[in-house]
Structure 1
Amino acid sequence: MALAMIYLGIPEGMLLSLTDKETAKDAWEAIKTLCQGANKVKNARIQTLKSEFKAMTMEEDMIIDDYHMKMNGIVTNFISLGEKVDESYTVKKKFRAMPSKFLQMTSIIDQFEDLDTMTKEEAVGSLKAHEERVKEKIESRQSLLLLTEEEWVKREKAEGKLLLTREEWLKRTNKEGSSNHRYRVGHGDKSNVKCYNCNIYGHFAVEC
């Protein structure tokens, strides 16, 4: 009778491990051993989740919604293992794990808000509002750069090419340098010019 009651009170997967037990005492000892093993696995999993949660940070290119879902997944696993997770702890973790672009905002909230009473929803709402403001500034800056580029194109069409490639610049520089050099060599009073080749006045070394 006791053995039958044990069989009725255990999961089906565990029942197969007890089919060879002849007494209630043997079955109970086997269940105890199995549960101890399960507890070890559970505790090991909890420690792994704690390490993941502690090391978790939001990447620069990650959005708040994705970060929130990732954190919620870890918290859900904690709860499924019977662990209680304090909401204020997760809220503080959200703000501590923010990238540098959120630093000013998180510092202000930490100063003027009570994180012990703030809910997860309020924390996510604040972070998403700041994320939208940052996104708006970036888009505005990109639009300004695009407008400047369009203005340059218009000016180039109206006034000719304003920017030179490196090859064009070198070609023009060498050409102008050669002209100036020929002018200096072929013209002007060179009586005070000393040749560095023969040390005689009146000509340049290239003319020696």
Structure 2
Amino acid sequence: MASNSGFTMVLPTLNGKNYERWQVQMKVLFGYQEVLDVVQDGFQAVGDEATEAQRSLFRECTKRDCKALAMIHQCVDDSNFEKIAHSKTSKEAWDILGRCYAGAEKVKKVKLQTLRREYELLQMKDEDTIADYFTKLRSLTNLMKGCGETMKDQLIVENVLRTLNSKFDHIVVAIEESKNLEDIKIEELQSSLEAHEQRIKERSLDRDPEQALQARFNKKFTSQGNFQKKIKGKWKGEKDKGHEGSRQEPSSSSSERISVNGQALKRNKKKLDKKKIQCFRCKIFGHYAFECRTRLVNGGAEVEARLAQENESDEDQVLLMVTTEKDNTKDDC
């Protein structure tokens, strides 16, 4: 905190990451205190043969130099103070900090290339406001100017219009058609975009109550529809259950279902004992109805085939064929 003639100001502090901004602020402070020429150019010492006027000027320059050096000491953190602790003049301390952070010309060129790429890839995000986006843009352009880049206002304006969010497309078209981009200033462009941004926010706030009412109505309608579907599905399930109960068949029909699903029973052949199974068609034990060989032919003539199985093994099988015929010829009178 510094005070001079009732004017109070907060001194900037160099912390190792803000050198570009810090040096700009310090130059302004040096100019306010009338010591900028001493910091940048220094002063010459006088010899024993100097005149009284030269000695008086030297004392004045020394006083101003100590004042500038004290300001530099107050505007750096502890780590940076160690770098300039043994400096005798303000120019020496200023040059040491410049070499530490600004670097040589090659370092500036490398840094400038990185900043150029970042500037080209800069794009406004959905959550950014116009003020936030212009702050990012100004910070980046100031860093580029500190590295020796020449930035024209026209190029910055064109880049802003090209990288704005899509919701500002109609505003960009209007600005490009109605104004000359060579004459428009960055501040003028920002104020115009902020006015349109405020109008968009006001319209979105006006639509919010209507959207909330519509969402509430849709939610109520959906809940009623789901309730009706639930009741309908429950009634349908009970109806289907009643039909299934009414379609139950006696034991004979269940045997027919067993015959239809004969393949499934064949897979479980080893688990079932067919000796106790009676065929409902021929009434003989040992096989199912779908395995029965009985067929009706010739208007009532019955042909039966029996598969005899031995009690000792199911693998030895003998096939016996018995044929019976009925004589339906009539006696001649």
Match of 1:125 among 187, 191, 212: 191
Q: How far apart, CA to CA, are the structure 2 residues paired with 1:80 and 1:140?
A: 45
Which range moves more in the overlay, 85-94 or 144-153? 144-153
The 3-state SS of whatever aligns with 1:61 is: coil
1:84 pairs with 2:150: yes
Distance of 2:184 and 2:94 partners within structure 1: 43
Q: Give the paired residue count.
A: 157
Q: CA deviation at 1:77?
A: 1.0
RMSD over aligned CA atoms reads: 3.7
- CA–CA separation in structure 1 for the residues paired with 2:151 and 2:95: 30
Question: CA shift at 1:104, angstroms?
Answer: 1.2
TM-score of the two chains, using structure 2 as the length reference: 0.40
Richer in helix (by share): 1
Q: Which residue of 1 aligns with 2:172?
A: 106
Q: Greater shift after overlay, 125-134 or 62-71? A: 125-134
Between Structure 1 and Structure 2, which shows a larger proportion of strand residues?
A: 2
- Percent identity reads 25
TM-score norm. by structure 1 comes to 0.61
* 1:85 Cα deviation after fit: 0.9
Distance in 2 (CA, whole Å) between partners of 1:96 and 1:47 is: 21
Query: Which residue of the partner structure matches residue 145 of structure 1?
Result: 211
In the superposition, relative to structure 1, how do residues 14 and 152 fare at CA in structure 2: closer, same or farther (>3 Å)?
closer
SS at match of 1:133: helix
Name stretches of at least 5 consecutive residues in structure 2 with no aligned partner.
1-43, 45-88, 97-102, 245-333
Partner in structure 2 of residue 33 of structure 1: none
CA distance in 2, matches of 1:115, 1:79: 21
Query: Aligned partner of 1:175: which letter?
Result: K
The answer to whether structure 1 residue 173 and structure 2 residue 239 are counterparts is no
Instruction: State the secondary structure of the residue aligned to 1:164.
Output: helix
Q: Which runs of 5+ in 1 are unaligned?
A: 16-36, 186-208
Q: Deviations over 1:174-193 (max 9, x none)?
A: 234357769999xxxxxxxx
Residues 14 and 179 of structure 1: is their aligned pair in 2 closer, same or farther, counting only changes over 3 Å? closer
> Residue in 2 aligned with 1:191?
none
2:108 corresponds to which letter in structure 1?
K
